[in-house]
Structure 1
Amino acid sequence: MIYVRDSIQCSEIQWKSPIDLECVGLNLSLAPQMSLTLIVLYRPPSANIDFYDKFKEMLKQCDFKKEVIVMGDFNLHWDDNSTRKKLQQIVDGFNLVQMVKRPTRITNNSSTLIDLIFTNHPERITKSYNMLTGLSDHNMVLITRKLTSKRFVAHSGKKEFIGIPRSKQDQFHSVIRNMNWDTLLLDNELEIISQKFTECLQTKIKEFAVTVKHKNRKCSLPWLSDDIKQLMKDRDNALKKAIKSKLSCERQKFASLRNRVIRQLRKAKADFFITIIKNCHGNSKATWDQINKLTGKTSSSNNSIQLKNNGMLLQDPSAVVQTLNEYFVDSVDTIAKSFSVKYNNLPVITSDLLIEPPLYPKSVTISDVEKAIIELKSSRAKDVYGMDTLMLKQIGQSIKGPLTHIINVSLDQGKFPESWKIASVIPIFKGGNSLLTSNYRPISILPTVSKVFEKLVAKQIINHLNCSSFPLHSMQFGFRAYHSTETATCYFLEKVKSNIDKGGIVGGIFLDLRKAFDTVNHSVLLHKLHAFNFSSKFISLINSYLLSRSQSVRIDQYNSTPLLLSTGVPQGSILGPILFSLYINELPSLCKNCDTLMYADDTVILAYGKSAEEVASKLRPCH
């Protein structure tokens, strides 16, 4: 494992051929014309003679036109000429020089130099260190490298936030509250009033918003008490005394203190996490938020994304956002086209699913809009207009009138505002090679005011579906009265338990549908809405909601050119999961002799039998 400061650009080395060694390599970019390769390696004490061939092959794949540093625990005594002979021949062949000069593992009986640092530019290394830490029976080895501050280009390590400061909040709210919406309220041209409303808010947000740079503070371990810190100092002092005296009694004192530190750290850490989990009172989201915060598993800043495109390294943020946006859109189109041929002949609608009465768009009241705003989840994620749900909640009382008017015009005309159809996409690194576009996933942030519309329309759809005995399949646990993820989990556990108790075998297929929301075919979805007795006006509204959507990738202040989306229901939307559930409603009927549990796009197919062969035969047609 290699820890790299956030301000330094780096990418993992992609070896041309597999390297059968315990190692990790990085390319570090210190300046536009200054980079180096850093490799950390571990050689087990039991390694055989093959290690040398593998090590040599690894070095052959390095670019020695650049600076190369190789370091690690080689478990090979460098001070012994006979032991190091083979390794010396290899590193000499690549002009690598070993920089550590003193023993790195010292015991009562031995003193060996086994932790090594090699470089092909020793003149750039100003000093090497060999430090006793008490963290291991090995000393810590370090080097310092010459680096001219004028050449070194590093990111500040600060994250930029655009928002309205507290000092301007009251003035901003006052301006919004006193805005005159009379002309807008008298107009019924949907595109004109929705765009005017959005632009007015955007103008005022830009007028008051400022860019704030926030530097993350270094995290300390909250369970590391002063008593434990003092005990760690005592342990370190005991180690120094044991090494200096070489007495077994001093070594035993050190071992006793070391074990005591380990026990107290484990207990303090366990007690801390138990308290954190108890304070979440069973709220799984709050629990995982705390765990991710403490373990550092939060989304990192994207300000240093680099990509490889057609063999060229892209570092310009403008080119990076454009390349990512094109990849996100093209990858969905490729998948959608691969099975679009199956949608030529849609099935004839039967009346067994029809729900009475038909679903027509119903107008909403100001109190409906006010309630919908309050119920939105608070978030600071900015949409393309610079607004977030937290801000919307703060100014909700001031804009609920014009927003209600726009939503009612939209419902009455069966159209969705065009200005509410563009998503701001944030690329999140999934893991692997950071230079590959395929290792990023898009997180869509829809226009904030559109979520109010979606929440109100979603409520009308759910009420419609729940007015019949059989609106959604009985195995759909989402968006039905008295159904939830908890009831789905209980059903799953009870089915598995009861069959195992009877001596049976249970098999399952857990489906993770690739690009599930993104590849929804609009024609098929609208066809199915008709089967659920959606009126033509409501279907027209949903069709308008889906068509002509676009997205733009954003990294810091850089935005790509918007690209049109030809398929799918919007990611991160409120309506998306409901529409997708209707889209796959007949899935259980395709899996004969199985139970198919669904919650939106999460699906589990279960089969039961007396033997593994019987279960497999039932699942095979579903695979």
Structure 2
Amino acid sequence: MSKDNYKYKKDKTNNPIKFSVTECIAITETWLNEGDKINRYNIKNYNNFHLKRRIGKRGGGISLYVKKNWNLNIIDSNISNNVEYLLAQINNDQINRKLLIIYRPPSGNIASFLSWLDQITSSHPDLILAGDMNINIADIKYSAIYVDLLNSNGYDIINESITRNESKSIIDHICISERTFEISCKVIEVYTMMKNNLSDHNMLVLVAKSCNSVNWTKTSIKKINYNAIINEISSENKDVLSLESESKHEVLNKFQNLICNIKFCIDTHTEVIELKHNANFIVPPWIDNRYVKIFSHIDNLSSKIEKLKFQNRPFTYLSTKQDELKKKLKNIDQNRGRAYYLNKMQSGKMSAWDMINQITGRNKDRDKIILKTCNGQHINEPHQVANKFAKYFNNLIQDQSNSVEPIYLGPIINSCMFLTPVTEAEICFELKELAINKATGYDGIPARIWKSLYSSHATILTLSKIFEKVLCKRILSFLEHTESNDPTQFGFKKKKSTADAVIKLLSSVSNALDRQEVVISIFIDVKKAFDTVDHEIVLFKAEKLGVRGLVLEILRDYLKNRSQFVMINDQSSDTYRLVQGVPQGSILGPLLFNILISDIQYLKLNSKLVQYADDLSMTYSNLDTSILKLALKHDFIKLKDFYVKNGMQINETKTKMMCFHVASNCRLQVHAKSLADDLGIELVNHFKYLGVILDSKLKFNLLIEDLSQKVKNSIKALSIIKSYAPMQCRLAFYNAFINSHLLYFAFILIRAPKTGLKRLQILQNKGLKICFMLPPLYDTVDLFTSYAVNILPLNGQSL
């Protein structure tokens, strides 16, 4: 537009647009030269900047007006024969935006212009770009390179109407990037003002409403320099690391000093990095600018194809190009993702489980804890939530605490346990076995530091896990050779597992059914079994079992003055003292619980017991239902009394009864229901015991259904991670989520119908084909012969 018309704009500020509501006005081709008096062209309440041509030069020129309640900062500007531009930043208290105003002379070198445009849009991904480009996007062939360049850098031309009526062309453009949408704009609308007296170009009006929808969040990442910590501690604390002294108090003081030094070094060499990102969008770490360009190009092609479809115009070329780009993007994504995760795993910076969780999105919201109270209030502050949980757990235990007189039913072991000396080699071995990826204790010192510091130094018996392991091995070794070893207990014993317990139960039931007897099992649930262990009773029984003297005092000291707290998002609750209970996550806890109930074998029950820690089943069979009812009633009352005398209670709402039978027998069900009512427990047709769903007819149809669903879900997850996970990780996933289930139930599946086995076999084959990246129609026989048999618990040839 000419500077004569420019004066008209100044005089007619309310026509055709109400400039009082316009935050920013950009004008190209002002024809202003260096000798012109700029004050003539100012607008009230606006800051202005004029990019002027040199004297005698015709055409061109850029002016920018910004309301005075905005700050205006000119970042860059330039005038040349190929392009004139003005790069500015405007901001207020809430919004920060970058503007790029362009005028491209029609006689300019378009190749040079496109090269410059590529450079500036790739380096500034969040611009609002506007101007007279003199490139007609209505002509697809002529403007294709220009449009593709913008799209590849994430920009879209948002105006589609004619901007110059005389030539019926669209040569004035407003461009917005996806990044601009994210950071500053929620709703963007563009209008083309067809009638105006300012220029032969139509006026473009952009309306961008401020965005408050993006949920920005900060993530704190701790980077610990382990090498620096280990080197500093090793060099400055050599005398402390040895911990060699005749004085017990001196050793304790040295150890406490060492703990303080380690914590100080960890704080010194820990860097906390805060990352600001959109909480609703997680960008894969291997994504770079090239990936984003291709993705933006594909997205732009999709928009073009939709438009062509609407206009009934051919789009085969664009569709083919889009498919090629999608294939290229997929290859880049998979190859880089696989290389990224393989490198992380090989360098030890990421475990296979971390990788699986990251790809599948598991544990994504594990830190977002919102607690709803009884009053309907919501608590989301981590410290308050932690306190609520800690108080709840403490009250739960206190409500069940009852002081009872200790009683031991079994024979007293006269021999006493001898505590063999602990060697340096033993401690070093246990340190090597210590997993470095496990959670740290309340002291916050990772296992990795202990492993590095004491790979060849003296022992530290006060290190909790090592201390418990060493003591637990010695107590177990002693108890295994005494008369107190309970054959019905399968929990936390060498060479015993939950599978052994289930096999024992099923063998008893199957043998009784083979004898045509009526079989009833009661599955006992104990309220908070580990949390209600009475310390005095367990120590009393340990002494009767031969654990006396120094070992008993160590156990007493281990249980004394214990406290607990809850930690959520690095915020800890208040501390509560524990007067009873054993820590379930500890090594000594399960052993102490076994000692507490070790004399249950001397109750002289009619039923056969099967125990795995606190999970207990009692089974009785007889041809006469009346005898069976009396025997089970007697045993249940006696067992209930045993738990009460040991400070525990049976949870009758979770305790279930099941009557096993081969054929349907209504009379038998009536007797079983009557017995269940007398005992105050529920009669069920199926029950999940130690992970195995048992049904009254031992058909295992529900088990097959449950197992099939688990394998299906695992196969779905495996198909998600297969493109990114390296082979070793895919195999680890298969073994953990598919093979482990099949192996665990293998001893039961031999009893299942062949139709159920066939179903599992098909699912297993599908999982293996995904794991080894084989086609769906790959021959199953080759699958079994080509790969190791130990990963195939079900053999297809046996079906």
TM-score (norm 1): 0.51
Match of 1:474 in 2: 487
Q: Look up the match of 1:534.
A: 547
What is the match of residue 393 of structure 2?
Answer: 328
Say if 2:220 is the partner of 1:206: no
Give the Cα–Cα distance (whole angstroms) in 1 for the partners of residues 363 and 604 of structure 2: 38
Post-superposition shift, 1:175? 4.1
Matched, 1:302 2:367: yes
1:569 matches 2:588:
no
Q: Partners in 2 of 1:454 and 1:374 — Cα distance?
A: 15
Residue 291 (structure 1) shift: 6.7
Residue 245 of structure 2 is aligned to residue 185 of structure 1? yes
Comparing 365-374 and 485-494, the one that deviates more: 485-494
CA distance in 1, matches of 2:486, 2:215: 58
Determine which of 319, 327, 331 is the counterpart of 2:384.
319
Superposed counterparts of 1:456-535, under 5 Å: 456-468=470-482, 470-498=483-511, 508-511=521-524, 513-535=526-548
1:213-238, Cα deviation, whole Å (9 max, x unpaired): 4869948799xxx9xx9xx99x9899
SS at match of 1:378: coil
Deviation of 1:555 after TM superposition, in Å, equals 3.1
Per the alignment, do residues 319 and 616 of structure 1 end up closer, same or farther by CA in structure 2, a change over 3 Å counting? same
Evaluate the alpha carbon distance shift between residue 333 and residue 163 of structure 1 in structure 2; reply closer, same or farther with a 3 A threshold.
farther
Query: How has the CA–CA distance of structure 1 residues 127 and 492 changed in structure 2, closer, same or farther, with 3 Å as cutoff?
Result: farther
Deviations 1:313-365 (A, max 9, x none): 5454443333332222222212x23xx1xx533325542xx445212433312
**Residues 133-172 of structure 1: per-residue CA shift (max 9 Å, x gap):** xxxxxxxxxxx995459xx88541x254474444554444
Pairing 1:363–2:397 present = no
1:19 alignment partner in structure 2: none
Cα distance change on mapping 1:384 and 1:240 into 2, 3 Å = same
Provide Cα deviations, 1:352-400, integer angstroms capped at 9, x if missing partner: xx44521243331212222222233333412222213233222222553
Alignment check: 8 A CA contact 2:370 2:378 kept: no
Check conservation: 1:475, 1:596, Cα contact below 8 A.
Answer: yes
**What corresponds to 2:731 in structure 1?**
none
* Residues 245/507 of structure 1: CA separation in 2 closer, same or farther (3 Å cut): farther
Q: Secondary structure at the match of 1:372?
A: helix
Q: Is the 8 A contact 1:307 1:320 kept in 2?
A: no
- Aligned residue identity for 1:322: N
> Structure 1's 527 and 383: CA in aligned 2 closer, same or farther, altered over 3 A?
same
Check whether the contact 1:520–1:580 (CA below 8 A) recurs between aligned residues.
Answer: yes
Q: Which letter maps to 1:363?
A: P
| One-letter code aligned to 1:396 | Y
Counterpart code for 1:323: K
Return the index of the structure with the highest Cα Rg. Answer: 2
Q: How far apart, CA to CA, are the structure 2 residues paired with 1:145 and 1:471?
A: 78
Deviations 1:546-582 (A, max 9, x none): 1110123333443333221111012311000111112
- Code of the aligned partner of 2:451: K
Partner of 1:455: 469
1:153/1:551 Cα in 2 relative to 1: closer, same or farther (>3 Å)?
farther
- TM-superposed CA distance for 1:293, in Å, is 6.0
Distance of aligned partners of 1:557 and 1:145 in 2 relative to their CA distance in 1, 3 Å threshold: farther
What is the rounded CA distance, in whole Å, between the counterparts of 1:349 and 1:590 in structure 2?
A: 8
SS in 1 for 2:566: strand
**CA–CA separation in structure 2 for the residues paired with 1:496 and 1:221:** 55
Alpha-carbon deviation of 1:475?
A: 1.4
The answer on whether the counterparts of 1:372 and 1:452 sit within 8 Å (CA) in structure 2 is: yes
Question: For residues 358 and 609 of structure 1, do their structure 2 counterparts lie closer, same or farther at Cα, with a shift above 3 Å needed?
Answer: same
Are 1:379 and 2:437 counterparts?
yes
The 1-side partners of 2:304 and 2:600 are apart by: 67
Q: Distance in 2 between matches of 1:622 and 1:530?
A: 36
How far apart in 2 are the matches of 1:509 and 1:236?
63
Task: Tell me the SS of whatever aligns to 1:564.
Answer: strand
Q: Secondary structure at the match of 1:596?
A: strand
The yes-or-no answer on 1:393 pairing with 2:458 is no
Amino acid at match of 2:479: L
State the alpha-carbon separation in 1 of the partners of residues 516 and 353 from structure 2.
36
Work out the percentage of aligned pairs sharing the same amino acid. 23
The number of residues matched between the two structures is: 401
CA contact (8 A) 2:559 2:582 kept: yes
The root-mean-square deviation of aligned C-alpha atoms, in Å, is 5.3
Q: Map of 1:99-118 to 2, 5 A cutoff?
A: none
Which consecutive unaligned segments of at least 5 residues does structure 1 have? 1-124, 130-143, 255-260, 266-285, 408-419, 421-448
Match of 1:544 among 527, 543, 557: 557
| 8 Å contact kept, 2:432–2:455 | no
After superposition, the Cα gap between the structure-2 partners of 1:288 and 1:560, relative to the gap in structure 1 and judged at 3 Å, is: closer
